[in-house]
C-alpha cells in the first residue's frame, strides 16, 4: 500500500508541474496583450498587494507607477483598472458592448442555468429579448403600482422599528434595517411571505 502511494505521488508531481508550467505560459501570453502592471505571483497573482481596507489608495498608488490604465492578476483572473475619467468614459460609452457582459464563473453558471437568466446572461440578442420581455411584462408602471401596498407596509414596519429603537435608546443599524426591508419586499413579491418567515421556513 505504501509503495503504491509512493509511486502515485511520483507520478502526480511531474503532472502537476506540467499543468502549472502550461498555465503560467498561458498567463504570460495573455499579459502581453494587457496594459502594464505589477508582476503577479503564481496562483495568487497580485492578491498579496491588495488590502480591502484601503484598496482605493493602493490602486491610486499603482496608477502613479503604471499609468491611468493598468492590469492586475486576481488569482487566475486578469483585471484592468482604469483611474482616468476620460478613459472610463471612453470604455463605458464607446466600448460598452465589449465590457457589458459579466465574467463567467462556476457558481453563477449553475445558479443561472448556464447563463440563461437576465442578470448573468452575456450581452447578446437573447439578453436583449428577455430584457424587453421583463420591461414590458414585469417592470411596467401598472405592474409596479400593483405592489404598492407591499412597499408601503414594509416601509411602515421599518419606521416602527426605528421608532422603537429611538424610544428605548437602542443603537439603530440603518444598513441592516434597509437590507431587511429590501429583502422582505423582494420576498413578498416573489414568494408571498416576508424575508424572515421565508428564511425561517427554509432553515427549519
133 close to 112: Cβ distance less than 8 angstroms = no
Cα dihedral 189, 100, 129, 142, rounded to 10, equals: 40
Angle between helices 174-191 and 195-203 (to 10 degrees): 80
Distance CA 14, CA 20 (A): 10
Please report the pLDDT score of residue 119 as a whole number.
Answer: 80
Please report the pLDDT score of residue 26 as a whole number.
Answer: 63
Q: What is the 3-state secondary structure (H, E, C) of 78-101?
A: EEEEECCHHHHHHHHHHCHHHHCC
DSSP class of residue 48 equals G
Please report the pLDDT score of residue 29 as a whole number.
Answer: 54
pLDDT along the chain (204 residues), means of 10: 64 72 60 82 85 86 92 87 89 81 78 80 86 86 88 92 86 87 88 70 56
Please report the pLDDT score of residue 69 as a whole number.
Answer: 92
Using only C-alpha atoms, the chain has a radius of gyration, in whole angstroms, of 25
Please report the pLDDT score of residue 154 as a whole number.
Answer: 92
Please report the pLDDT score of residue 170 as a whole number.
Answer: 80
Please report the pLDDT score of residue 137 as a whole number.
Answer: 83
Please report the pLDDT score of residue 33 as a whole number.
Answer: 78
Amino acid at each position: 500500500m505504501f509503495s503504491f502511494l509512493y509511486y502515485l505521488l511520483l507520478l502526480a508531481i511531474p503532472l502537476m508541474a506540467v499543468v502549472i508550467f502550461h498555465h503560467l505560459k498561458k498567463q504570460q501570453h495573455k499579459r502581453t496583450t494587457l496594459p502594464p502592471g505589477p508582476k503577479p505571483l503564481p496562483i495568487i497573482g497580485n492578491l498579496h498587494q491588495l488590502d480591502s481596507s484601503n484598496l482605493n489608495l493602493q490602486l491610486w498608488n499603482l496608477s502613479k507607477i503604471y499609468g491611468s490604465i493598468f492590469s492586475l492578476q486576481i488569482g487566475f483572473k486578469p483585471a484592468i483598472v482604469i483611474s482616468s475619467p476620460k478613459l472610463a468614459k471612453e470604455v463605458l460609452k464607446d466600448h460598452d458592448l465589449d465590457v457589458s457582459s459579466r465574467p463567467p464563473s462556476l457558481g453563477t453558471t449553475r445558479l443561472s442555468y448556464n447563463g440563461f437568466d437576465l442578470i448573468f446572461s452575456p450581452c447578446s440578442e437573447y439578453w436583449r429579448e428577455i430584457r424587453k420581455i421583463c420591461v414590458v411584462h414585469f417592470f411596467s408602471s401598472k405592474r409596479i403600482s400593483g405592489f404598492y401596498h407591499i412597499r408601503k407596509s414594509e416601509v411602515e414596519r421599518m419606521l416602527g422599528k426605528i421608532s422603537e429603537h429611538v424610544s428605548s435608546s437602542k443603537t439603530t443599524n440603518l444598513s441592516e434595517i434597509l437590507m431587511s426591508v429590501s429583502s422582505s419586499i423582494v420576498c413578498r413579491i416573489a414568494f408571498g411571505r416576508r424575508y424572515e418567515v421565508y428564511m425561517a421556513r427554509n432553515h427549519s
